[in-house]
A and B are shown apart, each in its own frame.
Chain A
Amino acid sequence: MFRLEPRASASLGWQIATPVLAVLATMLVGGILFAAMGFDPLAAIRTIFWDPLFGPASGYSRPQLLVKAGPLILIACGLALGFRAGIWNIGAEGQYIIGAICGAAVALAAYPLDAFWIFPAMILAGAAGGWAWGMIPALLRNWFGASEILVSLMLVYVAQKIAAWMAFGPMKNPEGFNFPGSRNLQQYEAAANPELIAGSGLHWGVVAAGVALALTWFVMSRHILGFQIRTAGAAPRAARFAGVRPERLVALCLGVSGALAGLAGLFEVAGPAGQITESFGSGYGFTAIIVAFLGRLHPLGILLAGLLMALTYIGGELAQMMLNLPAATVQVFQGMLLFFLLGFDILTRYRIRRRA
């Protein structure tokens, strides 16, 4: 009836159109889902996609957009480098958690000292922690050929256990009435990552995300490293021929994406989250994978996709409060979005022809 015909080269128009199509399809199917559950689909869609920005409570939710988009974009920038090269870091969530723990460790060790170097040192420690966690799958792949997909993913669960151990053990707040969880860094001025402009949601993590976007754009389009990354992803043999050492690229991409995820974790623990808890990971590391792909691994796309995914987080919470939608709504939405994106993606490389 229909058949797929490969295109000579990927269609630029469809590359831009498929993310939009995926969002529309997600809204449509999500609406049908809500209707089937007995909710008013239009109200639900409006609550998720419209109200956080322009609804009655938008004064509260709008700053949240940057708070949520910041870490997503920061992590997705690093992931996009690796994904372009065919290096699949699925464990950004783990690197995010370890980065947060390392950064918090510096702050908790320094407590209650008030010194200018504490926050910069936390930033370095957060990046180093994420980098080190990302280098584990890199080295295992380079030395033993282990799949970085599996190793990085499994290290997420290890990191979650470490976070729980920290919250119950070494990092437990001595003045916290024996509740699990570290001191709240927001209340420790030298270590806090505060909102820079009141009511904007802007904190240092968002600034870092902006810098990461600019750097990613520069490396990918102007620097030979970006060219080598793209070559390695498109044609590994050509990359070797050009002089790219695959092992070096693996270490670089996993290291950089780990460091950026670690930074995101540090800014989160020092700011919006405030403390290491047993369930510190909030899924940003996984959602960032969707952000990277939805954004076509391109900095501008990642910016838009990060904001959109942040919107689904906030809108999902709003829908829980206002309409009593189940908490899983956000994950369902995010999952559908990736599903439709990958599905529609086929249109960029193939065209549909009616079979004669």
Chain B
Amino acid sequence: MTDVFQAEGLGKTYPGVRANDAVSFAVGPGEIHALLGENGAGKSTLVKMIYGLVRPDDGAMTLLGAPHAPADPRAARAAGVAMVFQHFSLFDALTVAENVALGMENPPPRTDLARRIAEVSQAYGLPLNPARRIASLSAGERQRVEIIRCLLQDPRLLIMDEPTSVLTPQEAEILFATLRQLAAQGTAILYISHKLDEIRTHCDRATILRHGKVVGTVDPRAHSARELAAMMVGAEMRVVDRSGRVPGAEILAVSGLSAAGLRGVSLTLRAGEILGIGGVAGNGQEALLAALSGEEPTAPGTVVMDGTDLSAMGPEARRRLGLLAAPEDRLGHAAVPEFSLAENTLLTAGARQGLVRHGLVDHGAARRFAEAVIRAFDVRTPGPGTAAGALSGGNLQKFVIGREVLGKPRVLVVNQPTWGVDAGAAAQVRQALLDLAGNEAGVIVISQDLDELLELSDRFCALNEGRLSAPRPTEGLSLEEIGLMLGGAHGMEVAHVPA
């Protein structure tokens, strides 16, 4: 049988990063084909090229035997490609039928449409009432709306971007039944995920991407989750030299933290230590940072630093005691885009740098401190009067990290410190974190970038569905163990084996 879709040597370069490099693979009719890889491996770029959102720099695609080079998603849809995004694009205030109509090129009359929605939803076992408002639907039901919108176009290739990340296990089962039915009718399905068990149970083939390149196309059923994880993570494991560093006394103890999205998270941190927390974003990373920074106060006794219970304290009180944090979102969370860099120092450095005294803002001091951060961290900007939103991602990240590092933290918590940052800036940020630990501070690095965690951290643990695995010394940790701690369903058991 000829393939529905083929990619030949696809490549795409963004400034500073080769997102896809000579990617070739094929999806046959009736096949559920997994696209597997870590975050940043190039999965999104690849499917965006197929769906016409991004144009490849080189290489060619073939769909149903004809060349496939869509100028925009509309052309891709016309050619028979449909895509269900991880983040839904639905209007809460409108009904299911109205939302579906909005996404169609030539929507039929409203009554016809409602009938067809009912037909399709029945045919594929996706119960859905066309007259209901989106606002009243669960995440799983919303996804059904997106899927039905796709099915109404009769796609030949259906792309699903991490569809189960928002679903309950029961909803996921319904989804897989639908996908199998679609496949049985000859639709090719490209399934993006990093959940190994899911892929091993439901996919016929898996193409594994790493750093933008195809590592291999395998039958996932013939490999163990360990083997798949090892392929995903890659064989180039850095040997980290930890010999020079001796962790000191315990300074931070988190125990039984069960805030929004977190389930009984416990950890300890010692002076001069970097604790790496791996895992895919959306598994409680933001909640953990908010609980540590003080944005979300937690139950008494859950966050203790140097013997002081910080659980009920707000961010300012914690900063005074030396617990600083840098959230993942640079724009709108760690910094205010409209404000100048000097004003942005006031967000977190007011008390520790003496920029605010008796409630009065010392604008001159804020400016001087911003200049100090700019100098120390080589932030490329015209000056402290520049709006934070005008900086490149990497430069703003250096500024945000620098603002906290210069605050001489006792404990620094960072979430995705180098996300979307070019290699040069990433190296600077990592070096700053290492230097900080060298100066007796404790550092918690939450990141999706495994290489980064292995390079930086003394101990490593994984955050998965709100649960934190027991930490293991990074030195001597095998790839298989890492893979299982990260994404495997049995990570907890392995993690509890004493090191």
Q: Which residues of A contact B (CB under 8 A)?
A: 8-10, 222-227, 230-231, 234-235, 237-238, 240-243, 245
| Complex: A9 Cα to B382 Cα, angstroms | 15
A8 close to B390 (CB less than 8 A) = yes
Report the stretch among B225-233, B259-267, B341-349 that lies at the interface: B341-349
Closest approach, in angstroms, between the C-beta of B220 and any C-beta of chain A?
39
A241 close to B327 (CB less than 8 A) = yes
B419 adjacent to chain A (CB < 8 Å): no
B387 adjacent to chain A (CB < 8 Å): yes
The 3 closest A-B pairs by CB, nearest first: A243-B316, A243-B315, A242-B347
- Given A224, A237, A242, which contacts B329 in the complex, CB threshold below 8 Å? A237
| Complex: A222 Cα to B357 Cα, angstroms | 11
- Given A8, A222, A231, which contacts B336 in the complex, CB threshold below 8 Å? A231
- Given A8, A9, A227, A245, which contacts B346 in the complex, CB threshold below 8 Å? A227
| Complex: A243 Cα to B325 Cα, angstroms | 12
The residue in chain A whose Cβ has the minimal distance to the Cβ of B333 is A237
Set of chain A residues within 8 Å of B348, measured between Cβ atoms: 241-242
The residue in chain A whose Cβ has the minimal distance to the Cβ of B350 is A224
Set of chain B residues within 8 Å of A243, measured between Cβ atoms: 294, 314-317, 319
| Complex: A242 Cα to B361 Cα, angstroms | 14
A238 close to B334 (CB less than 8 A) = yes
Closest approach, in angstroms, between the C-beta of B200 and any C-beta of chain A?
38
A245 close to B336 (CB less than 8 A) = no
Set of chain A residues within 8 Å of B329, measured between Cβ atoms: 237
A8 close to B347 (CB less than 8 A) = no
Q: Interface SS of chain A: helix, strand, loop or mixed? A: helix
Set of chain A residues within 8 Å of B315, measured between Cβ atoms: 240-243
| Complex: A223 Cα to B355 Cα, angstroms | 11
A8 close to B361 (CB less than 8 A) = no
- A238-B332, A241-B295 known; A227-B390 Cβ under 8 A: no
- A225-B359, A241-B295 known; A235-B336 Cβ under 8 A: yes
* 30 contacting pairs across A/B (C-beta < 8 A): A8-B390, A9-B387, A9-B390, A223-B359, A224-B346, A224-B350, A224-B356, A224-B361, A225-B359, A226-B361, A227-B343, A227-B346, A227-B361, A235-B331, A235-B332, A235-B333, A235-B337, A237-B332, A238-B332, A238-B336, A238-B347, A241-B293, A241-B295, A241-B315, A241-B325, A241-B333, A242-B316, A243-B314, A243-B319, A245-B314
| Complex: A98 Cα to B65 Cα, angstroms | 76
Set of chain B residues within 8 Å of A240, measured between Cβ atoms: 295, 315
| Complex: A10 Cα to B389 Cα, angstroms | 11
Closest approach, in angstroms, between the C-beta of A244 and any C-beta of chain B?
9
Set of chain A residues within 8 Å of B316, measured between Cβ atoms: 242-243
Set of chain B residues within 8 Å of A222, measured between Cβ atoms: 360-361
Q: Which of under 10, 10 to 19, 20 to 34, or 35 or more describes the interface residues of B? A: 20 to 34
A238 close to B333 (CB less than 8 A) = yes
Set of chain B residues within 8 Å of A224, measured between Cβ atoms: 346, 350, 356, 359-361
Most buried by B among A8, A240, A243, A245: A243
Closest approach, in angstroms, between the C-beta of B353 and any C-beta of chain A?
13
| Complex: A231 Cα to B332 Cα, angstroms | 10
Closest approach, in angstroms, between the C-beta of B426 and any C-beta of chain A?
23
Set of chain A residues within 8 Å of B389, measured between Cβ atoms: 8-9
Set of chain B residues within 8 Å of A231, measured between Cβ atoms: 336, 339, 347
- Given A10, A223, A245, which contacts B361 in the complex, CB threshold below 8 Å? A223
| Complex: A242 Cα to B403 Cα, angstroms | 13
Set of chain B residues within 8 Å of A10, measured between Cβ atoms: 338
Closest approach, in angstroms, between the C-beta of B35 and any C-beta of chain A?
32
Closest approach, in angstroms, between the C-beta of A296 and any C-beta of chain B?
14
| Complex: A224 Cα to B335 Cα, angstroms | 16
Q: Which residues 263-297 in B have Cβ within 8 Å of A in the complex?
A: 293-295
| Complex: A86 Cα to B163 Cα, angstroms | 35
Set of chain B residues within 8 Å of A230, measured between Cβ atoms: 339
| Complex: A237 Cα to B295 Cα, angstroms | 9
The residue in chain A whose Cβ has the minimal distance to the Cβ of B326 is A241
Set of chain B residues within 8 Å of A234, measured between Cβ atoms: 336-339
The residue in chain A whose Cβ has the minimal distance to the Cβ of B335 is A238
Set of chain A residues within 8 Å of B333, measured between Cβ atoms: 235, 237-238, 241
The residue in chain B whose Cβ has the minimal distance to the Cβ of A9 is B387
The residue in chain B whose Cβ has the minimal distance to the Cβ of A219 is B359
Set of chain B residues within 8 Å of A227, measured between Cβ atoms: 343, 346, 361
Given A231-B339, A234-B337, A237-B329, 5 additional A-B pairs, CB 8 A: A8-B387, A223-B359, A241-B315, A241-B327, A243-B317
The residue in chain B whose Cβ has the minimal distance to the Cβ of A242 is B347
Closest approach, in angstroms, between the C-beta of A298 and any C-beta of chain B?
15
Set of chain B residues within 8 Å of A242, measured between Cβ atoms: 315-316, 346-348
Set of chain B residues within 8 Å of A245, measured between Cβ atoms: 314
